[in-house]
Structure 1
Amino acid sequence: MSALPASIQVFERGWLSSNNVLLLGRDDTALIDTGYLTHAPQTLDLVRHALQGRHLDLVLNTHLHSDHCGGNATLQAHYGSRVAIPVAEADKVRDWDVDALSFKATGPRCERFTFDATVAPGDVLTLGGMAWRALGAPGHDPHSLIFYCPAERLLVSADALWENGFGVIFPELDGESGFAEARATLDVIAGLDVRLVIPGHGRPFSDVEGALARARSRLAYLEADPVRNAQNAIKVLLKFLLLERQRIALTDVPALLLAMPVFEAANARFLKQTPEALATWAVKKLVRSVAARIEGEHLLNH
């Protein structure tokens, strides 16, 4: 794998918290994405250790799913850092509209934070002493941004491109277009000269061509039958809850799914099953893929 510049550190966090990208310039420090609320104390510890007494000037979010911005409030409270968010999310955050933000729809929590600046596609930012261009990356999230550094040929790809896939295409669950936008985002990435990708989840990788091929293949598979995207979303959302709670009573799974508006929308549009039947299906899928296990009357993270 191609090496990162000494001014960049990546905290690879797993699948409950997004990766955090710390950029250390001579005169500026910034953190891209802050993980999930449950892990906010750990995020703060990682940042404090890496900064070695320096101040964190800026927190920057690729998008506002709770696993990417859940540590914002903690870092803001500790450092007084400026926070920059995608421009399209400004009114929602200003009013803390949990119906418009994704937190209520998908279940996971996020502590309220404020913002000082917005970032729009095409903006150029200085992060870690380097120039980065913000690019729109709709698909997984309609307002997501990715960040490209031409001088170092680096891409912070958020959930638009992972080494093996991408994030759930959420707009399609609400009957909005998402597949076409995800494909266009992959085309944008393919047009960049990239030697190393720092994804929102998983390790940094240099085989960009291979990752793009895998992502396009998966996108075609999902688009061929949108029910597949809905089923994948239900599994992912249940796994996310399991990552947070570690242990869920099997009898509680249907109610937990019902509490997420995105589940209701996906089920009404594509799946058309009772919550109990869909909960049974989702549990079996997680157990079969060794992402969970059943112990007595409980579903356990695995």
Structure 2
Amino acid sequence: MNRAPYGVTLGLALGFLVLAMLAGAFWGTADLPWDARISALLRLPDAQPNLQLIIWEWRLPRVIMVALVGGGLALSGVIMQALLRNPLAEPYLLGLSSGASAAATAAIVWLPATFVASFGLDLLAFLGAMLAFILTLGLAFQPGRGMDKLVLILAGVAISLFFSSVSAFFIHLADPQVTREALSFLMGSAAGARWADLPPLAIALPLGLLATWLCATMLDAVLLGDERAVALGVPLPVLRLALLSLAALLTGLSVAGAGIVGFVGLIVPHMARLLVGAPHKKLIPLAVVLGMIVLVVVDLLCRIVLAPEELPLSVLLALFAAPPFVFILRRVRRGF
């Protein structure tokens, strides 16, 4: 298969990302004149204050948030698929999404609204995700033997089932008017994102990208098998714990920023492999950019398809992810 030069592919992806983010800032549920949109985006003297408010305080933070979430989930997916040597691995495999949803649902249903508003639903969701990750690691770690990949996956499934049951139990007991906010979180949405919500993921994603890129050669070795990786000098237990912790951090922050957003961490790494192949030096940056593009475009469609109503992110993601997922399954049958 002939592929375009890597620089061209990455450059085109970055250019498309800029265009997608501009489209996300320009389009939305509010129908604005084009000249007014440009003036508000550039903050020209003749820009209307209410339009500046819509673009700079509502749309831009949301667009940047979904871009960061898409990049974080895509990077986590690359890490998970490499370390577990499983093409169907994805960031939520360790129970992070279920832990975050259980914490967020419990906060919405049982805690006073003033407490949740002051403490932050995103922080509570992040703490729930980290609790699930710690429990999964605790179940998978065996003294003297380290961490077993199969046990890690099974532990993640068990933790996911447990916290999913807790979330369902809370929603079943809650008042119907309260459950709407919880369901919105469970189905994914970046509505209401503010500039103050961006720094945690905006700092963690570039640092995580750099750290993972520096480990790219070791990740290539891991794909050869644990024994060969160790023989090549890869400190496998340390690498696995460090990068899994990084993936958990990025996933937890992503869940806190936009709720439960599925399929990005599973599908996007495979999209990047089709374009640049398996070497992680090339795969990692492109996967992050593609993850950003996918979620920015899907979020824009969620806002305009049924305007002025909005669709949850998971609805359109599931529709668009089904054909690529079938394609991935066919590739898995031929080997990863």
Decide which structure has greater helix share.
2
- The alignment's TM-score, normalised by the length of structure 1, stands at 0.26
Q: Which has the higher contact order (CA 8 A, sep 6+)?
A: 2
Decide which structure has greater strand share.
1
